[in-house]
Amino acid sequence: MDKLMDFSYKYGAILVIVAVLVFFSIVNPNFLTYDNLADILRSISITTLVAIGVTFSLIVDGFDLSVGSTVSLVTMVTASLMVWYQLPLVLVILIPLALGALVGLINAFLIVKVRIPDLLATLSMLYIIAGLHKTYSQGFSIYNNMPLPDGSVAPGVLSESFLWIGQGKIAGIPVPVVIMLIAVLIVHIFLTYTRAGRVLYITGGNREAARLSGISINKVRLAAYVLSGVFAALGGILFTARVGSGQIDAGSPLLMESVAAAFVGFSVFGAGKPNVVGTFFGAVLIGLLLNGLTMLNLPYYAFDIIKGLVLVFALSITYIHVYRKKA
């Protein structure tokens, strides 16, 4: 029984991914085609980036609930910088990334200096940022040639070079997929093979031991939340480029999906801790499920049930294993 539990913990998520692939391939022959698989990877690219941010917060024994709202805010700001203010592409990328970093700094200040628990601090920011992005846009989506309150028309448009980031291809591979894979590789190398990555894990594993080792735990936690905000911002930029507009509450569904992906990652290959490779496979599992259910013409409101069940599955496998090890 113990061997079975260990096997399910190490390879359960991978086996589920394989089972989902087989099932939907049998049900719908169009599921396992290059175009559909490329579409799945494109759809999870944004989720994966946001989930990487959540992973950073989990590594330091925290939890960032504000990532979905950050995506929404960045999406609106990114679109407005081109449609309202006609700024060059470099600033359209850098300003939203800086905005994401600012959200991370505020989260870290509330958590580290004010000493509000992570969940409560980032939950508060979730509501604040959600209100800010709707106030900024006055409750409207931002798109090319949109009418403005004074009766005029917005002077700018989302440029083709910007839209290429979300809609273009490199050697037949969607650009968002390339960005996602590069991000996963870089973060994996950073967390696994650098001193800074190990310091993040040490801080999350035993804060007091880290402090006694001379690690500035407050700076490490601050860095984790800034990275969480930056990756959420990167997801928001990609979302804007993909849909070609700034959408109200664009990031709301991404919070649950990114959290589920990060927690599924705990059990991938028996990692037992937040890790970016596991997070990627978690996002793949969610993407396969949602795509397959869409092809089965299930109602959209059933998707939240599936995402909830995936999260319950991930948490159950992870914590059953943790309690068994303690016992």
What residue ranges define each of the domains in the chain, with the CATH number in brackets? 2-326 (1.10.3470)
CA-to-CA dists, residue 63 to 41, 85, 242, 246, 255, angstroms = 25, 35, 27, 27, 12
Span 205-233, average pLDDT: 95
Residue 107 to residue 95: CA distance in whole angstroms:
18
What's the pLDDT at 308?
80
pLDDT of res. 113: 95
Task: Report the candidate in 139, 159, 157, 158 with the shortest Cα–Cα distance to residue 149.
Answer: 139
Q: Percent helix, strand and coil across the chain, each rounded to 5?
A: 75, 0, 20
pLDDT digits (tens, 9 = 90+) for 176-194: 999 999 999 999 999 999 9
Neighbouring-strand partners of residue 246: 142
Please report which confidence band the pLDDT of residue 8 belongs to, taking 50, 70 and 90 as the band edges.
low
5 pLDDT band, cuts 50/70/90, is: low
pLDDT at residue 318 is higher than 70: no
Nearest residue to 311 (alpha-carbon basis) of 6, 13, 8, 9: 13
Contact (Cβ atoms closer than 8 angstroms) between residue 55 and residue 275: yes
Query: Residues 83-98: what's their mean pLDDT?
Result: 97
pLDDT tens digits, residue range 147-168?
Answer: 998 889 999 999 999 999 999 9
- The pLDDT of residue 4: 66
Give CA–CA dist 310/257, Å, rounded: 9
How far is residue 146's CA from residue 68's CA, in Å, rounded to a whole number? 25
Burial class (CB in 10 A: 0-12, 13-18, 19+), 142: buried
Nearest of 230, 295, 301 to residue 52 by alpha carbon: 230
H-helix segments, 194-302: 195-205, 207-212, 217-243, 252-264, 276-295
Q: Supply the pTM of this predicted model.
A: 0.94
Selection from 204, 211, 290, 302 nearest residue 254 by Cα: 290
Point out the least confidently predicted range of 20-34, 50-64, 176-190: 20-34
DSSP string, 297-313: T--GGGHHHHHHHHHHH
- Our CA angle for 267, 273, 278, nearest 5°, is 50
pLDDT in tens, 235-284: 999 999 999 999 999 999 899 899 989 988 887 876 678 999 999 999 99
Residue type, 82: M
3-state secondary structure of 246: strand
Helix 303-326 vs helix 2-27: angle between axes, to the nearest 10 degrees? 160
Evaluate if residue 84 carries a pLDDT over 60.
yes
Residues in the chain, overall count: 327
CA–CA separation, 143 vs 154, rounded Å? 9
